[in-house]
A = this chain, B = another copy of it.
Amino acid sequence: MSESVEGLSTALTFVWLLLCGGLVFLMHAGFSLVEAGFTRAKNTANILMKNLMTICVGVLIYWLVGWGIMYGDDIAGILGFSQFCLSGADNSVWNGWFFQMVFAATGATIVSGAMAERTKFISYLVFTVLLVAIIYPVYGHWVWSGADLALLTGEGSAIVKMCGASFHDFAGSGVVHSIGGYAALAGVIILGPRIGKFKDGKPQAIPGHNITFGFLGVLLLWLGWLGFNGGSTLDGSDAYMNLAVVNTFLAAAAGAVAAMILTWLKTGKPDPSLTANGVLAGLVAITAPCGSVENWAAIVIGLIAGGIVYAGVMFNETVLKVDDPVGAIAVHGYCGTWGLLSVGIFAVGMGEGILGGAVYTAGAPGLLYGGVNQFIIQVVGALASIVWAFVAGFIVFKIIDVVIGLRASQKEEVEGLDITEHGIRAYPEYITE
Query: Which A residues lie at the B interface, using CB under 8 A?
Result: 1-2, 4-5, 7-12, 14-16, 18-19, 21-23, 25-26, 28-29, 32-33, 36, 40-41, 44-45, 48-49, 51-53, 55-60, 63, 85-86, 89-92, 94-95, 97-98, 101, 121, 207-213, 215-216, 218-220, 222-223, 226-227, 230, 236-243, 245-246, 249-250, 252-254, 256-257, 260, 267, 269-273, 275-276, 279, 295-296, 299, 354, 421-433
Number of copies: 3
CB of A239 within 8 A of CB of B10, answer yes
Select one of B33, B40, B257 contacting A56, CB under 8 A: B257
B residues near A45, Cβ cutoff 8 Å: 211, 272
Chain B min CB distance to A292 (Å): 14
B residues near A252, Cβ cutoff 8 Å: 56, 59
**Could you list some 23 contacts between A and B, CB below 8 A?**
A5-B5, A5-B8, A9-B11, A11-B238, A18-B242, A22-B227, A25-B226, A48-B212, A52-B215, A52-B276, A56-B252, A56-B256, A57-B253, A58-B253, A91-B239, A91-B240, A91-B242, A91-B243, A208-B428, A209-B428, A269-B421, A269-B422, A271-B422
CB of B12 within 8 A of CB of A423, answer no
CB of B256 within 8 A of CB of A52, answer yes
B residues near A227, Cβ cutoff 8 Å: 22
Select one of B60, B220, B245 contacting A94, CB under 8 A: B245
B residues near A275, Cβ cutoff 8 Å: 49, 52-53
CB of A424 within 8 A of CB of B207, answer yes
Main secondary structure of the interface of A (DSSP, over half): helix
CB of B49 within 8 A of CB of A85, answer no
Given contacts A57-B253, A209-B427, A429-B433, 6 further A-B contacts (CB under 8 A): A11-B12, A11-B236, A32-B216, A90-B354, A91-B240, A211-B426
Chain B residue at smallest Cβ distance from A97: B246
Chain B min CB distance to A44 (Å): 6
CB of A216 within 8 A of CB of B18, answer no
